[in-house]
Structure 1
Amino acid sequence: MAFSLNHALLQSANRSPDREALRFNGQSLSYSEMVGRTGTIARILFENGLKRQERVAVFMNRSFDSLASIYGAMQAGGVYVPFDSFAPPARLAAILRDCDIHYLITEDSKAPLVQQMLAEYDGIKLIIGLSDVANLKAETISWQQIHTSGVLTAPDVSVNEQDLCLIFYTSGTTGNPKGAAHAHRSMLSNVEWALEKFGFTPEDRFSNVTSHHFDLSWLEMYASISVGGTLVVVPEQTVRFPSDLAELAGREQISVWCSVPSVLMQLAQRGNLDAQKLESLRWILFAGERFPTKHLKHLMSLVPHPRYCNMYGTTETHIALHWDVPALPDDYEELIPIGKGCSHVDVMAVNPQGERVKAGESGELVIRGPSLMEGYWHLPERNAKALVRHRFSPELEALCYHTGDLVQQMPDGNYYIIGRGDRRVKVRGNLVDLDEVEQVLLTHSQVQEAAAFTVSTDDDTAWVEAAIIPKPHTQPTSSELRVHVSRTLPTYAVPEKVRVVDDFPRTGSGKMSRKDLQISAQQGISEQSHPQNGDLKETLKRYILTEILGDSGEILLEDDTELLESGLMDSIGVVRLVSFLEDNSGVKVPNDEFIAENFSSLAAINNLVERLRLLR
């Protein structure tokens, strides 16, 4: 049995040193080679003064080096803190301060953002992964230097299951991100459950489409390595394009797929799945958000041979409940359950008084078990509210995590999500605190009142919108306000639109009615008018600027501006752009044209439209 995540890697390498550990862009890395890279990173950190349990920021796109950096930080006795590649520098600087981080692992593509981060935080001693960058006080070591220096011997640092291994940062209600700290035992307990539950083997090939900063990544990264399988690391750009992603899954013979439902929905709608060779798939696992029943049934009709499992978890507990999806009848329209508690945890629903509710009654879901976080980093008051002792039986009282999710248990024992007990919502698998969005809007000098809410389309795609009342004699614009939010919050939390209004609808007591604002915005989706086709090129540019980039004059969009590799446009932005094109250009974008090269720039998008018009 492994006693740390890096120990699990060493065990797999000892069993099968030549077996493929990682695949990326058609290249392979064996287990022995991965151990070599991991040991080199660990040695560099150790020799530069990293102390046991000190935090290491990892700010990279998925690659061989990003995985080696994560394992290397842990092997050196450190705690890795994965950064969202598309989070604003101010938010990342806040995490650096909160964790008192002195070591940063990154890559040259992140250099401009690193410079902005370090303009607000001067505590970094060592940066691994940057070539020469001007005006940085920290020492830098480039990847070229590391790759050409040869393999270094890993330091002999004692690491056991009680040590912290990582801190995942999520939205915080105070306007600052909060970090959920996990020990090695927490992660290993989930891995051991998954290996037993799903029967993973060394022959399995796992997809890695989840970003390192998102907690679902544990199943891809650690289960595959622990069982000695192969992890197929998928580039960020490929994830944005369903046809490219489906083709990669077939070409790489993926057998275990794990992602949020929104990725699977796009695969079903745009992935040309009936033309792909997906015979190797044996498990499709999904978690992080609700999978609308009609879309799940559609996917299962296109790819019927794998087994499907709906998993539920939180950043603070990881996967805690699951439901093996049976064959769904044609007339099945009910919400799918989140299932029953996993074998390594206990779950129950409690009322506001902390008492266990009966089956059929609603209550807040609480979870106990070894996968529980150690607590939020440096937030004792928050921990006191989230981690509470409950009595599961007359003889058993244990510390539990309050999820905030309201659930109902059916007579068959399965739990169903029926809502939230707070103002946090799921957007693209990420938890967004609407109160935090409002608080950031209120920091704008021209905003008097702010309200944030969600709206959704008929296919259950949800996003955040907002409305504000401006201060007297000011005229803030929607794009200006969106850019303001984007400087503090991650892309998925930035409102798609901010309406500027004279006043909010009010309740009888004078409070703003967010529900009425939401209804009004929802009606606006179906009633919005579309521009004429004649000025499509200019309309397209304006749409990208205002609706996707949130530009207020700071982002210069030219025909050749790189939209994808730069991170200016994410997967949801691409989907929305295609819908806009189809509504306004009179053409249908076929699935085989839904590929990265056609959306890499404004010029490429215009060329696609003209080509499709000629083919009509």
Structure 2
Amino acid sequence: MTETAHVCRAYAVTGGLDTRALRAAWGETTDGLRSRTGLPIGRDGGPFGFTDLGGVADPGPRETAERLWADPLALSFPGTGGPAARLVLARPAGGGHLVMLAVNRAFPAACSPATLIEDLGAAYGVVAGGGSGDPSDVDLTWGPGLTGPLERFCSAEGVTPHEVLLAAYAELLGRHGGGEGPLVGMLAPAGARPVVRVDRSGRPSFRELVRRTAASTRTEAGPGTGPTGPTGEGEHRGRTFAEALFTVEEPTEPVLRLPGARVRRIRSEDAPSEANPILTVRGSAASSLTGRLEYRTTPLDTGAAAGLADQLRTLLGAALADPDAPVDTLDPETPGQTRAAVRDADLTGVGGWSGKPVHHHVRAMAHATPDAPAVVDGAGVLTYGELRARAERITRALHGLGAGEDSTVAIRLPNGPDQAAALLGVFDAGAHAVCLGTGHTGERGRTLLAGMRPRCLVLDAGPDDAPLLAWYRGELGGRVLDPGSPGDVPVDPGSPAPGPGGPDPTAVAGRWAYVAYTSGSTGRPKGIPQTHRTLAQFTEWFAGEFGIGPGARVAQWAAPGYDAGLVELFATLGSGATLYPVPDRIRAHPEKLAQWLATERITHFQTVPSFARKLLTAIGDGAGGRLPSLGHLLLAGEALTGDLARELREALPGARLINLYGATETILATWHEVGDPGPGTVPIGRPIPGRRVLVLDAHDRPCPAGVTGRIVVCGPHVTPGYVDGEAPGDAFRPLAGGTGAGEGTPGITSGPCYRSGDLGRRRWDGLLEFKGREDSRIKLLGSRLELTDVETVLAADASVVECAVAARTGPDGLVGRLVAYVVPRGVPDGEPAASPSVLRAGLRRWFGKALPPVSFVMLSDLPRNAGGKVDRRGLADLTPIRAGHHTARPSSTDTHPQT
């Protein structure tokens, strides 16, 4: 930048800036200069001026500042005879504010930028009434415990404190990114390379990592390199941004502090504002180093900047204490912090169960309130007493067919009174149940029956069932029971109906209650058993936490065969509430379902987020009104976005919005009541009582806060294992000992565990976040990418109803591109409302200028399985809307940032 008649300082300001207070503070600042300069003071002209440019077309503060730097007349500096100083305020189109101070070089030192900025910050704090500051921007100090070892290490290695800090900073960010070290933009003294990637390959020691860092930063930059130019680094050649920023400033550099707002210095050589986080180090000697860390995450995760700063200090301390240890073994959290986090994740010692299985609870309700409504459907009301009588008849019939203790009984019935009675009858008979979908009449039905070889099949047979029944009787020698006429089969006279007390509940606690079949990642049905203890413990917690009891009206929406349907049924009937099975004819139709929810005055409804979005549209269109009776909306099975959560809370202000997470292997694992959702994905919360939910690395060590790892659920309510000889692989492998989260970690015992295959991270506020699946984390063009991250950004666009993103491989087996399947909002005359160019722009704003090749396929709907989840294997077979296969490829220089 050439010499000009003025010195400029520019700041990007976000958060709670009080512009009136800023104008008043500028007046107080200029008034205070009277005695130091002897100049006549004017508020909006003369030696000191204030210019409010209002809204400007530039997309962000940095672009606005660059325009003003290039146009001195815009600052009202016609020459050296112009104002002494001027404060400029602008509101860029991209959001936030730009505060820019310009000081004429011809005026005395008392008008220096440092003096004016310090005085302005102090005056603003008084005028605006102070403020707590922005939690995403924290001061960073080191203390004598670090400065001494740092000084000795630098002297021994011949490196600078900045190079040591950069090595620790890059190592920490590499942990949070889950792969290579990030590209770090350097704003440092001349001669330092402006963009570096710290080489973390080969498990170096910290000493070696510092040496590599020093060698990288001291390499002279070639023409055109910098935070906004190419790096010339192999696969990253042409990369046009820095993922993080490391800034070195002199201690005399002024710092503008505006309490309650986040302030970031902008310089003409700055990296783009997308860089995150930003570490600013002031000073050069180890004994005098200070710093500031900016870390922008979701607004609700307010401890992020402070947490990352604390981890940087801890990691640096561990590295200086043992610089020859492999750097990836150094923990950025203290042992006490790790133990505390593991203790918080362990609720296996709370939330015990009453000791009674679910059918004992239902029988007790029938004994106490026989005339209370148990199940209501299109056929009328079935009371608890009538339900008990039906169940007893089925129990006797099952005994007559030889189905007793530890026998398998298959139930192929729609949700409703017959299904409820059949389940109770099976449990009372001592058998365990397998619920099949009513559509299981073909090859899948035969596969399931052949695998489980049930003693009896309970169904209301129709004409279409004849081939299946003939095969079942002929090939397996099976017996069939019609729940509507159980008296047609032989009854064992020695099998009395269960009385009010029933068999000893402790004798059945560890027996299987049911086996649920899921498709699994390979598409092959996978049988997952659960015990009576687990089913009862969970449904007791579920009913108690969500207020299910007499007077509650609970919808049973989950399809037969899914454990969610069993939870809905037994949480309701075991607590004296009334079950309302959703009629099959309206289950997949949001408009009809919304009206049904209103008519039946449903108080509790559980579904998946993608269907909740459709239901939200139906409610907005007037179907069912605002559902005033609905007190609980429970969502599970898919990631819940902040935008959808916010819309649901606005549409249903009287309902608790609950985000549930878990696999069939554990029924569920965590829950979170949604308050004020921010952007991105809603947290999955904290463990459900009786479960320990950990986020572990590849060595079974607990991951520090903010670091993505593998979600592992432990405790007594993990399934005993798969049936039918299904190989579990590593799914139930015990936790490693030693330094991992197994027996070697203080306060932790191993025991049963389930490795979910899901990725997650522990937020800085202690809540868990779902980060996709291991099989959805891909590597594209050398960088890691979470498909769920791309889906979250696309779903946030107002023109998108829902979406799913899939990776496509080339002939070499490597992922070469992504395909985004998008359901646009509103398709008038068959033309999608969402355009690939607009969606691509949204992705670019989030991921910066680096974006993988993405193709867009517009669909009228996403395919779903019987459980309501998106059927990802069926996406490629769908027909786009009109010729809606739109492809948008970036230039060959585009890549994707490290994740």
Same fold (TM over 0.5): yes
2:546 counterpart of 1:179: no
**2:401 partner amino acid:** N
Partner of 1:319, secondary structure, is coil
For 1:300 and 1:572, the matched residues in 2 are separated by: 23
Equivalence map 1:461-610=2 (5 Å) = 461-462=802-803, 505-506=810-811, 510-511=812-813, 513-514=814-815, 516=817, 518-519=818-819, 522=821
For 2:390 and 2:380, the matched residues in 1 are separated by: 15
Aligned match of 1:106: 459
2:655 counterpart of 1:312: no
Select 2:402's aligned residue among 49, 52, 58.
49
**TM-fit CA distance, 1:294:** 2.1
Deviations 1:398-424 (A, max 9, x none): 221111110011111111111211369
Aligned match of 2:471: 119
For 1:238 and 1:288, the matched residues in 2 are separated by: 20
Equivalence map 1:262-411=2 (5 Å) = 262-271=610-619, 272-273=621-622, 275-276=624-625, 278-328=627-677, 332-379=678-725, 381-382=727-728, 385-389=731-735, 390-391=741-742, 393-398=745-750, 399-411=752-764
Tell me, yes or no, if the aligned pair for 1:189 and 1:370 is still in contact at 8 Å. no
For 2:490 and 2:537, the matched residues in 1 are separated by: 37
**TM-fit CA distance, 1:374:** 1.6
2:497 counterpart of 1:154: yes
For 1:363 and 1:183, the matched residues in 2 are separated by: 29
Structure ranking higher on relative contact order (CA contacts 8 Å, 6+ apart): 1
2:571 counterpart of 1:220: no
Kindly report the root-mean-square deviation, in angstroms, between the aligned alpha carbons of the 2 structures. Answer: 4.1
**TM-fit CA distance, 1:194:** 1.6
Aligned match of 2:196: none
For 2:461 and 2:776, the matched residues in 1 are separated by: 38
For residues 384 and 210 of structure 1, do their structure 2 counterparts lie closer, same or farther at Cα, with a shift above 3 Å needed? same
For residues 62 and 515 of structure 1, do their structure 2 counterparts lie closer, same or farther at Cα, with a shift above 3 Å needed? farther
**TM-fit CA distance, 1:13:** 1.1
Select 2:590's aligned residue among 225, 229, 242.
242
**1:119 partner amino acid:** W
For 1:424 and 1:505, the matched residues in 2 are separated by: 17
Partner of 2:728, secondary structure, is helix
Tell me, yes or no, if the aligned pair for 1:241 and 1:571 is still in contact at 8 Å. no
**2:548 partner amino acid:** F
Partner of 1:41, secondary structure, is helix
Aligned match of 2:517: 169
For 1:378 and 1:163, the matched residues in 2 are separated by: 17
2:402 counterpart of 1:59: no
**TM-fit CA distance, 1:51:** 2.8
Select 2:362's aligned residue among 9, 16, 28.
9
**2:753 partner amino acid:** C
For 1:463 and 1:167, the matched residues in 2 are separated by: 30
Deviations 1:96-120 (A, max 9, x none): 12112231111234x4246247537
2:393 counterpart of 1:40: yes
Question: Which has a greater percent of helix?
Answer: 1
**TM-fit CA distance, 1:387:** 4.3
**TM-fit CA distance, 1:279:** 2.1
**TM-fit CA distance, 1:24:** 0.7
For 2:732 and 2:615, the matched residues in 1 are separated by: 36
**TM-fit CA distance, 1:275:** 4.7
Aligned match of 1:459: 800
Deviations 1:6-32 (A, max 9, x none): 111111112211111111116111111
Tell me, yes or no, if the aligned pair for 1:292 and 1:460 is still in contact at 8 Å. no
**1:364 partner amino acid:** R
Partner of 1:461, secondary structure, is strand
**1:505 partner amino acid:** G
**TM-fit CA distance, 1:364:** 0.6
For 2:408 and 2:379, the matched residues in 1 are separated by: 32
**TM-fit CA distance, 1:345:** 1.3
For 1:374 and 1:276, the matched residues in 2 are separated by: 45
Equivalence map 1:48-87=2 (5 Å) = 48-87=401-440
For 1:212 and 1:313, the matched residues in 2 are separated by: 18
**2:629 partner amino acid:** S
Tell me, yes or no, if the aligned pair for 1:200 and 1:227 is still in contact at 8 Å. yes
Instruction: Structure 1: state its 5+ residue gaps.
Output: 130-141, 426-452, 468-503, 533-545, 551-566, 585-616
2:484 counterpart of 1:143: yes
**2:715 partner amino acid:** G
For residues 525 and 224 of structure 1, do their structure 2 counterparts lie closer, same or farther at Cα, with a shift above 3 Å needed? closer
For 2:446 and 2:757, the matched residues in 1 are separated by: 28
For 1:57 and 1:424, the matched residues in 2 are separated by: 37
Normalising to structure 1: TM-score of the pair? Answer: 0.67
For 1:252 and 1:522, the matched residues in 2 are separated by: 35
**TM-fit CA distance, 1:172:** 3.4
2:720 counterpart of 1:415: no
For 1:157 and 1:184, the matched residues in 2 are separated by: 13
Tell me, yes or no, if the aligned pair for 1:204 and 1:230 is still in contact at 8 Å. yes
Aligned match of 1:611: none
**TM-fit CA distance, 1:288:** 1.0
Tell me, yes or no, if the aligned pair for 2:526 and 2:723 is still in contact at 8 Å. yes
**TM-fit CA distance, 1:371:** 2.4
**TM-fit CA distance, 1:580:** 10
For residues 277 and 51 of structure 1, do their structure 2 counterparts lie closer, same or farther at Cα, with a shift above 3 Å needed? same
For 1:381 and 1:145, the matched residues in 2 are separated by: 38
Kindly name which structure, 1 or 2, has the bigger radius of gyration based on alpha carbons.
2
Tell me, yes or no, if the aligned pair for 2:401 and 2:490 is still in contact at 8 Å. no
For residues 421 and 48 of structure 1, do their structure 2 counterparts lie closer, same or farther at Cα, with a shift above 3 Å needed? same
For residues 351 and 101 of structure 1, do their structure 2 counterparts lie closer, same or farther at Cα, with a shift above 3 Å needed? same
Count of aligned pairs between the two proteins: 464
Equivalence map 1:199-214=2 (5 Å) = 199-214=547-562
**TM-fit CA distance, 1:360:** 1.1
For 2:466 and 2:594, the matched residues in 1 are separated by: 33
Partner of 2:775, secondary structure, is coil
**TM-fit CA distance, 1:346:** 1.2
Tell me, yes or no, if the aligned pair for 1:53 and 1:163 is still in contact at 8 Å. yes
Tell me, yes or no, if the aligned pair for 1:406 and 1:417 is still in contact at 8 Å. yes
Tell me, yes or no, if the aligned pair for 2:407 and 2:432 is still in contact at 8 Å. yes
Between 82-91 and 164-173, the greater mean CA deviation after superposition: 82-91
**TM-fit CA distance, 1:157:** 6.1
Deviations 1:230-280 (A, max 9, x none): 111111211122222122212222112222223322211124457536222
For residues 301 and 317 of structure 1, do their structure 2 counterparts lie closer, same or farther at Cα, with a shift above 3 Å needed? same
**TM-fit CA distance, 1:581:** 13
For residues 346 and 128 of structure 1, do their structure 2 counterparts lie closer, same or farther at Cα, with a shift above 3 Å needed? same
**1:198 partner amino acid:** F
**TM-fit CA distance, 1:149:** 12
Normalising to structure 2: TM-score of the pair? Answer: 0.47
Select 2:372's aligned residue among 13, 19, 24.
19
For 2:690 and 2:365, the matched residues in 1 are separated by: 23
Deviations 1:414-466 (A, max 9, x none): 111112113699xxxxxxxxxxxxxxxxxxxxxxxxxxx9x998636356989
